[in-house]
Amino acid sequence: MTIPAFDLLKPGSVAEASQMLLEHGDEARPIAGGTTLVILMKQRALRFSHLVDLQSIPGLERIADNDDGLSIGALATHRSVERSPLVQRRAPALAQAFSHVGNVRIRETASVGGNLVHADYRLDPPPALLVHGAEVVLAGAAGTRVVALKDFYRGMYETALEPGEILVEVHVPHVAPSARTVYSRFSSLSANDWPCIGVAALLSVDGDDVGELRLGLSGVAEAPLLAAGLDRFQGQGCSEELWDVVCDVVDEQISPVSDLRGSADYKREMTRVWVKRTLRELAAS
């Protein structure tokens, strides 16, 4: 199936791209890798008369290690994040998460920014980004602003982006040297499919006690979720009993929907299984 005709606009800067989006309003969308947008347009699920090609803007694909964290440009591909020595060393869970998206051909093309603004509740990267305290940099006609990723998602396919704004960068703060991170996912269909459940965890251990604990989840709410209220477990001993209580806290915050990958009840039960499995792995490492 072919894509309906559209005009491809080639901005030379983020400011010019923002102006193009404002000028054409709901008839325009930015395009980077296009791995999702092109499919939806072919299926006639979406139709736009203008696409603003972000690939024509230089410098948005950069991955850098700064004093306060990693800087990942919006046009960095999934594959470049997955294979980046900086990401593998500083944020291994993030490299793991990006390595699970689709297949190699998709990851060679799909962009970090495109993945995040798509705002699908089943995405792999957001849980890992959430436990790292990631922020997104948004640029538009009013200037640049920084939004915590946990506040960026407003619902299914809804974000905090204002008209004309473009996600240009992701900032991933460095975590404490004592913190361990991991991303796990459960696929009920093929390995290349969306995850039924995605779980990212950050855990630091002081002796046998919990120092810091964060959990990010996907597939179990209308948007990727950073579990709240886990600071109450600081100083408590790592044990199966504690992981059960953590799962109870998480269970109160999720709201799975039934889809091809499992019923809501099934996802709720599997969330407990995978949260406990992930915490066990980190505590034992």
- Give pLDDT tens digits for 257-267: 898 888 999 99
pLDDT band at 5 (very low <50, low <70, confident <90, very high): confident
pLDDT band at 280 (very low <50, low <70, confident <90, very high): very high
Residues of the chain with CATH 3.30.465.10: 63-173
Q: How far apart are CA 57 and CA 13, in angstroms?
A: 5
40-44, 102-106, 113-117, range with greatest mean pLDDT: 113-117
Buried b vs exposed e over 72-89: b needs ≥16 C-beta within 10 Å? bbbbbbbbbbbebeebee
pLDDT digit string (tens) for 230-257? 999 999 999 999 999 999 999 999 999 8
In the prediction, which pLDDT does 193 show? 74
pLDDT digit string (tens) for 50-66? 999 999 999 999 999 99
Global confidence as pTM: 0.93
Give the least confident one: 170-179, 187-196, 202-211: 187-196
- Going by C-alpha positions, the residue among 251, 278, 244 that lies closest to residue 265 is 251
Query: 63-173, what's its fold?
Result: 3.30.465
Which position has the higher pLDDT, 195 or 277?
A: 277
Which CATH number does the domain 179-284 belong to among 3.40.50.10210, 1.20.210.10, 3.30.390.50, 3.90.79.10? 3.30.390.50
Query: 7-56, what's its fold?
Result: 3.30.43
Q: How far apart are CA 87 and CA 77, in angstroms?
A: 13
Which single residue is written with the structure tokens 């995040």? 116
Q: How far apart are CA 19 and CA 47, in angstroms?
A: 20
